[in-house]
Structures are given as C-alpha cells and as structure tokens.
Amino acid sequence: MVVIQNSANDASINEPNLINTLQKVIADLGEGDSELLIRLVDKNEIQALNKTYRDKNQPTNVLSFSSDLPKEIEEMILGDVIVCLEIVREEAKAQGKTFEHHLMHMSIHGVLHLLGYDHIVEAEAEEMEALEVKILNGLGIANPY
C-alpha cells in the first residue's frame, strides 16, 4: 500500500496516478504487500531532514528512510520516500523533462534505495540506473540519463 502525504499542499500532483504507479512498481519488484509512504515537501523540510540525517545542510531532490522495525514484527513496511517538489520542478525544467515524469523518476529512485540499491560505487550505480530506465520505459517515460 502506498500512502502520500502532500505536506507541500500542491494540488497539481496527480496523487492517484502516483499511488497506482508506485504500487505496480513495488509489486513488479516482488514487494507487493509492503507499505510505503511518499511525503511531498518543500525545500525547508527536505533541507532540515538532509542536515539532521545526512549532515548536509542543503536541500536535495529525494531522501529515503528504510523501516527500522525489528524482524519479529510482521509488518512489511519498506519505509519513507521524501520528495522535494520545488527541487524536482527546477531539475525538470533545467533538464527539459516534464515535471510529472521527473517526479515519477525521483519517486522510483527513492523506492529502489529502500530495496537496497545504491549509486555510490560505479557498478552499483550502473545496475540501479539500468533498472530505473527499464521501469520508466515500461511506464512510457524516456531514459532520464
């Protein structure tokens, strides 16, 4: 189940489409029964989170926080993905992408982090990017790279 918290109060977000798409992506990746929170925020909120949890005092496009429930608790919670709508809009414009497509990409990127994918090491970055491209292609979204 995907839940959206639109703390930025942005009425232009097609929340049902984002929910349905992410539920399908999670199911396709074998985590269909898991819970996921997508929180849509402004620059101030994501900067505060980035400073607190990553020691980086600047806004960023997306942050992922894995669930830290003990395995004994039988809840399937992937975690939280925090997306900064302002940054995603700015990046989409600068990169010549639609906001909707870039929002979907950043949301999927955050979900992949929750599933253990990363892009610190080059080989892992290539694997993660290839999976993102494959997923986005299945959604009719062009290669973002």
Q: Give the mean pLDDT per block of 10 residues along the chain (145 residues).
A: 87 90 86 84 94 92 81 71 95 93 93 82 81 89 85
- Domain 2-138, CATH 3.40.1050.10 — does that match? no
- DSSP assignment of 17-75 equals HHHHHHHHHHHHTT-TT-EEEEEEE-HHHHHHHHHHHHS--S--SEEEEE----TTS--
- Structure tokens that stand for 101 in this block: 């497509």
Phi, psi dihedral angles at 35 (to 5 degrees): -100, 145
* Rounded Cα gap, residues 16 and 5, in angstroms: 12
Neighbouring-strand partners of residue 64: 81
pLDDT of residue 61: 94
Residue 76's identity, in one-letter code, is: M
Q: What is the pTM of this model?
A: 0.85
**What's residue 60's pLDDT?**
94
109 is in an annotated binding site: yes
pLDDT at 74: 61
Question: What's the rounded Cα separation, in Å, for the pair 96 and 90?
Answer: 10
Is 102 a known ligand-binding residue? Answer: no
- Could you state, in order of their start, the residue ranges of all structural domains in the chain? 2-138
119 annotated as a binding-site residue: yes
Please answer whether residues 42 and 75 qualify as being in contact, where contact means their C-beta atoms are separated by less than 8 angstroms. Answer: no
Strand order in the sheet with 2-6: 2-6, 35-41, 77-84, 62-66
